[in-house]
Structure 1
Amino acid sequence: MNVRTSAHSARFVSGSTMRHVVVMAGTGAIGLMAVFAVDLANLFYISLLGDASVAAAVGFAGTVTFFHVAISIGATIGVSATVARLLGAGQHAKARQVASASLIWMGLVTIVLSAATLALLNPILNALGARGETRELARTFLYITGPTYPLLAIGMCTAAIMRSTGDARRAMMVTLTAAVITAVLDPILIFGLRLGLTGAAVSNVVARIALAVVGLYGVARVNHLVGRPRIGRSWRDVKPVLKVALPAVLTNLATPVASAYVTHAMARFGPAAVAGQATIDRISPVAFALIYALTGAVGPIISQNLGAGRADRIRETVRNSLAFVLLTVAVAWLVLAFAQNSLIRAFSAHGVTATILSTFCSWLVASYVFVGCLFVANATFNNLDRPLLSTLFNWGRATVGTLPFVAVGIRHGPIGVLVGQAAGSAIFGTMAMLVAFLVVRRLPMEDCARLAQRHANEPTSSAVSVPGAAAGNTIAPRVQ
């Protein structure tokens, strides 16, 4: 075992928790912002083609991809929570075994899911409301990018593993590398070779290959948390991960389900409305990269302090995370409100598309306070053995907090759809945060230590594999 790596693994059990939140969220956000800025630039290039059907096709393709991203994020939550908890308890060898087994299982599961998605692509797009040329363009895009979903999942998982050790800088480099590649290839393929939407799809494929390769190198060669796979023991090693990952996957699936319903509602108002929704979906991750990074940032901090029996630091982390959300949304709201006219011109938006974009920048950005509350609450529940609470609140938001509100809003046009979605988020984000505070308030230090000990004794293989034998984001929701 690498002594230096082990000695510095549990770095979150001391020092300022606010500093840990800011550093982890900040470094994570830089990587996410780079990826999503390129994704936004991708849509910008496509908008220059002057065809609303192409922009709408990107929106439909993004909704399908969102399901795969949500599943991968749920799985990485389980990996991150388990590995960080073991590192916090000083069990580096077990953490390494869990990380290795998790990557194997994630690869196998996403291969099956990708094949199923491609086989059912036509009925999926029909259910979303895609029609005519827009449907054909979305199908072409997904046939090119769909087979690389496993690479996207592996890249996300390796970044989560590195964040679990506190190596936020290297986790950031995973996404930055892919972002740089995409930034270079997009204009060349879309305009230089005149491939249009197909060029954007090819660029995504190359970026996902880079995600997986750079991520695997970081966890295997640098952090020494992945070694030669031991297939016979992989199920026993991955069982502790599944206890958190399965509820987390169910939780995360709620968001794309709600998004699919909103996209279906927008489709009633034509390609221009779907294009407006697609533009918002690419502006918001850039504007709120710090918010999207919070789930991956807060989780390891809570888990390491759980492993160390520090209930006081867990409570402090949750409080500081909420303060961080409020400040981040206030700044982003101010910037977007002043920049809205420039954004409308940049994306050649007019009519319904421009109205949607203006309403979002002027008022609806405020609803991200409640989205941030939900993210912090999810990280708290998942890392304190309350994953079912995450499932409850996320599915509540996706069903009771979306369907009736959007159904009422749809009577008032596409803006009503967006307002209805924001109202549901406000209700469930507030409730989730209140329950999260209740959970950490009732976590005495002795109970925290017992909970950590129970997880430290989870059955995992005791053998240590040889470092570096493996070949070689968290990416927030909505990556193409």
Structure 2
Amino acid sequence: MRDPGAPMAGVAPRFVTGPTMHHVVVMAGTGAIGLVAVFAVDLVNLFYISRLGDRAIAAAVGFAGVVGFFQISLTIGLAIGASATVSRALGAGAVAEARHLASVSTLLSVILCAVIGLGTVALLGPILDLLGASGETRRLATSFLTISAPSLPLMGVGMCLSGVLRSAGDPRRAMNTTLLAAVATAAVDPVLIFGLGLGLEGAAISLVISRLILAGAAWHGVARRHGLLGKVVPGRLGSDLRAILGVALPAMATNIATPVGAAYVTYSMATFGPEAVAGLATIDRISPVAFGLVYALSGAVGPILAQNHGAHRPDRVRRTLRDSLVFALAAVCGAWVVLALGQGLIVRAFSAEGITAELVRLFCSVLAFSFMFTGSLFVANAAFNNLGHPLLSTLFNWGRATLGTIPFVTLGARFGPEGVLVGQALGSVAFGIAAVIVAFRVLPRPEVAEPRPGHTLCFPGGTGVVALAAMAVRPLRRWEHRSGNG
């Protein structure tokens, strides 16, 4: 019988040795495939639904997508809490503690996601009114969410356990769990939507099936292959919850800022009619797939940072952050070229016409590069969440969602729906740059000499900006240490 505290095959800290760029590429690459598979479920749904040729249905998917974005952002926050705490434990060689943390994280995901999913159904009317949905579009969005929202606990378990798999140094298995769910959706969607004539309701049922497969496959990988799930020990429950929620709650607060900003963008776009909302819905489903490597960075880089932090390797922590930014730039440039060259095919694939097609073309040809600054924010958030400064990620994400979104989008809306997209893109620039600057400032100090002032990052006037950013966040850092987050 295996000693519960003994090291197990496959859970040794893998990221404390070897080239950090290699770890970033492998983790982001496998994580992107898995994450793209999750978002591809929505993209596949939209593709089949667009074949029905009804703009009201496509717009309904847009409104439902904003609500779903809120929900998924919360599950990702829980997954970050699980991944960060389990990674630290594994990095320190405490396998038994990692097992307890993984078990409590799973239980927490089930309970919180059940409350969120059922609460969404109960408050659907006010939620859709707030987003500006009306008429047939509102009715269709209500139908879709009534079916899909209660299955959120399955999504929460799948995302949480996928994070645990990445923490255990098994990104390929984490990738395969989400990939399996996406393949199932691609197979079931046309049968339900067209074969059985269920339309939008068929797409919702397909989403529930994909979440069930995701949860089952992730549980098998964590529990059966790695032995990282066991009984929840009541005596440890309080301390485990504090450790997980210490990261998860700020991460959830951080992640929910993005859908808040997206909700305002959708509300602004709704004033231009269903075609504009349909264009936004298409962009919102293309971008996570096109920029999957960027979206994956936050979850992928986290375990690398956390293990090296737990192993007291500040030099590797700093190198990982730099390599992640270089990787983000390369990923964005590659995706931008593909989108720009393939924009005509994308427009035809989703039967986009009129303003819907114009918005898609604007995004693909010009605005896609703004994801470099979004990616920078993701990388900085990973550093904040895994190095003991989760309130900083909350600060920057909410700053981008409010000060970096509302005034820019409001001004842009005066020039039409295209202005809404331009305003959204411009607002992310300043916050992406500032977040990276501060991330380098809060890194643990390496034993070797620090870089000379003004050379932390290659930004003009770096010294002054870094100094101002450090002054702005110093009170928050002191508060974090007093509250136990540091």
Q: State which of 413, 421, 445 in structure 2 corresponds to 1:443.
A: 445
Query: Is 2:210 the counterpart of 1:207?
Result: yes
Tell me how far 1:5 sits from its aligned partner: 2.5
Q: Judge conservation of contact 1:115–1:147 (CA < 8 Å) in 2.
A: yes
Superposed, 1:64-463 pairs within 5 Å as: 64-231=67-234, 233-440=236-443, 443-445=445-447
Question: Do 1:310 and 1:445's aligned partners in 2 also have CA atoms closer than 8 Å?
Answer: no
Q: Deviations over 1:34-67 (max 9, x none)?
A: 3333432221111111100000000100101111
Partner amino acid for 1:443? R
Question: Helix, strand or coil for the counterpart of 2:133?
Answer: coil
Take 1:354 and 1:4, find their aligned partners in 2: how far apart are those partners? 55
Which one-letter code corresponds to 2:442 in the other structure?
A: V
1:385-434, Cα deviation, whole Å (9 max, x unpaired): 01111011000001111110011001011110111111111110111011
| Alpha-carbon shift at residue 212 of structure 1 (Å) | 1.0
1:102-158, CA deviations, whole angstroms, 9 ceiling, x for partnerless residues? 111121111111121111110100000000000000000000001101110110000
Deviations along 1:338-376, whole A, 9 cap, x unmatched? 100111111111110000000000000000000000000
Say if 1:34 and 1:175, in contact at 8 Å, map to a contact too: yes
**Alignment of 1:19 onto 2:41:** no
2:48 maps to 1:36: no
CA contact (8 A) 2:59 2:137 kept: yes
Tell me what 2:464 maps to: none
TM-superposed CA distance for 1:29, in Å, is: 1.0
Structure 1 unaligned regions, length at least 5:
447-454, 459-480
Give the Å deviation of 1:6: 5.5
Question: What letter matches 1:282 in structure 2?
Answer: R
Q: Per the alignment, in what secondary structure is the counterpart of residue 412 of structure 1?
A: coil
Contact 2:400/2:431 (CA < 8 Å) preserved in 1?
Answer: yes
Identity of aligned pairs, percent? Answer: 59
- Counterpart of 1:387, as a letter, is P
In the superposition, the TM-score normalised over structure 2's length comes to 0.90
CA contact (8 A) 2:10 2:168 kept: no
- Choose 159-168 or 69-78, whichever is displaced more: 69-78
Structure 2: 5+ residue stretches without partners:
449-480
Corresponding residue number in structure 1 for 2:457: none
Report the CA distance shift for 1:7/1:291 in structure 2 as closer, same or farther (over 3 A): closer
Which amino acid in 2 is paired with 1:211? L
Aligned equivalents of 1:197 and 1:7: distance in 2?
42
Aligned AA (2:446): P
Q: CA deviation at 1:4?
A: 5.9
Q: Cα RMSD between the aligned structures?
A: 1.5
Work out whether residues 101 and 235 of structure 1, in 8 Å CA contact, stay in contact via their aligned partners in 2: no
Whether the aligned pair in 2 keeps the contact of 1:6 and 1:90 (CA below 8 Å) is: no
Report SS of the residue matched to 1:385. Answer: coil
SS at match of 1:5: coil
Q: What CA distance in whole angstroms lies between the structure 2 residues aligned with 1:257 and 1:251?
A: 10
Q: What residue is the counterpart of 1:472 in the other structure?
A: none
Residue type matched to 2:411 in 1? V
Letter of the 1:130 partner, please give it. A
For residues 114 and 33 of structure 1, the distance between their equivalents in structure 2, rounded to whole angstroms, comes to 23
Deviations 1:293-314 (A, max 9, x none): 1111100000000111000000
Per the alignment, residue 459 of structure 2 pairs with none
Code of the aligned partner of 1:380: A
Code of the residue aligned with 1:20 in structure 2: it is H
Distance 1:8 1:104, change over 3 A: closer
| 8 A contact 1:309–1:445 mirrored in 2 | no
The secondary structure found in structure 1 opposite 2:52 is coil
Name the residue aligned to 1:45: 48
1:57 to 45, 57, 60: 60
Residue identity opposite 2:350 in structure 1:
F
* Counterpart code for 2:259: P
SS at match of 1:90: coil
Q: Against the structure 1 CA distance between its residues 232 and 105, is the aligned structure 2 distance closer, same or farther, given a 3 Å change threshold?
A: farther
Rounded to whole Å, the distance in 1 between the matches of 2:41 and 2:219 is 22
How many aligned positions are there? 447
* Distance in 1 separating the partners of 2:308 and 2:296: 19
